[in-house]
Amino acid sequence: MRRILVTRDHREVALSDLSLPISLWPPETPLEIEIGFGKGRYLLSRAAEAPERAFLGIESAVKYYRLANQRALRRRSANVVTICGEALFLISCCLEPGRAEAVHVYFPDPWPKIRHQRRRLFEPENVDLVLSLLRPGGRLFFATDHTEYGALVARLLEGHPDLEVEARSGPWPDGPRTNYEAKYVREGRSIRRLVATLREDCERPSLHPEGAAGVVVGW
């Protein structure tokens, strides 16, 4: 695994220089997380709109991670921390569970080939990892143009006992949130948008019924 990088206060450090789980803000500070922030369009615009909130972005592509950090520096974004690494590993080992008011996942790689599908962010065996980032009442925002993957994610979320799921019939109130979304809207592509809310009485999401059998527990 390549070295995981973290940019905080516009300075880059190695993950090994931080204590785990990563906790960079007071617990009362509202936190939003974007997984796969790309060039930083939504992450940075949202951070500018809500300076009282903290924003954590995860991106696996080094060139986009560095580009977004350059943009954050130019904008003097003081409430943004970015991490370059694989999301599922970071969620399982490095991030604080039950902390985020919102998790944003827009146009993730659908990994359509069967041999690659284990890399998907949303699969029955790992969807609980993504949901574990949410605090009770927190919301997951999702969008994709990939018909098959969108149907799978919708089925997974709707079948989770700890979620209430809304399928949006139109665009987000603030318009396209990523460069991909703006491009696909111009092209007239169909986009599936979902908002899943974790129950207020749920301290930690349970395993998905479809994925529980595939999770091995040792003691």
Cα–Cα distances (Å) from 122 to 10, 176, 202, 208, in that order, read 31, 22, 20, 11
Q: 40 — phi, psi (to 5°)?
A: 90, 10
> What is the CATH number assigned to the segment(s) 1-96?
3.40.50.150
For the chain, give the number of residues: 219
163 and 128 in contact (C-beta within 8 Å)?
no
**Structure-derived torsion over alpha carbons of residues 167, 170, 174, 179, reported in degrees to the nearest 10:** 90
> What is the CATH number assigned to the segment(s) 111-209?
3.40.50.150
Task: Show the CA angle centred on residue 135, arms to residues 130 and 138, nearest 5°.
Answer: 80
Closest listed residue to residue 141, CA positions, set 97, 86, 102, 192: 102
Half-sphere exposure of 146 (CA within 13 A, CB side): 14
**pTM of the prediction?**
0.93
CA-to-CA distance for 159 and 192, rounded, in angstroms?
17
Question: What does the pLDDT profile of the chain (219 residues) look like in tens digits?
Answer: 566 889 999 899 888 888 889 888 999 999 999 999 999 999 999 999 999 999 999 999 999 999 999 999 999 999 999 999 999 999 999 999 999 999 999 999 886 676 766 778 898 888 999 999 999 999 999 999 999 999 999 999 999 999 999 999 899 999 999 999 999 999 999 999 999 999 999 888 888 888 776 665 544
CA-to-CA distance for 24 and 162, rounded, in angstroms?
28
pLDDT for 112 = 67
DSSP code string of 108-155: -----SGGGGGG-SS-TTTHHHHHTTEEEEEEEEEEES-HHHHHHHHH
Closest listed residue to residue 83, CA positions, set 57, 101, 64: 57
pLDDT for 218 = 45
Q: pLDDT tens, 74-109?
A: 999 999 999 999 999 999 999 999 999 999 999 998
Q: Which are the catalytic amino acids?
A: 109
CATH 3.40.50.150 domain position(s) in the chain: 1-96, 111-209
Residue 77's identity, in one-letter code, is: S
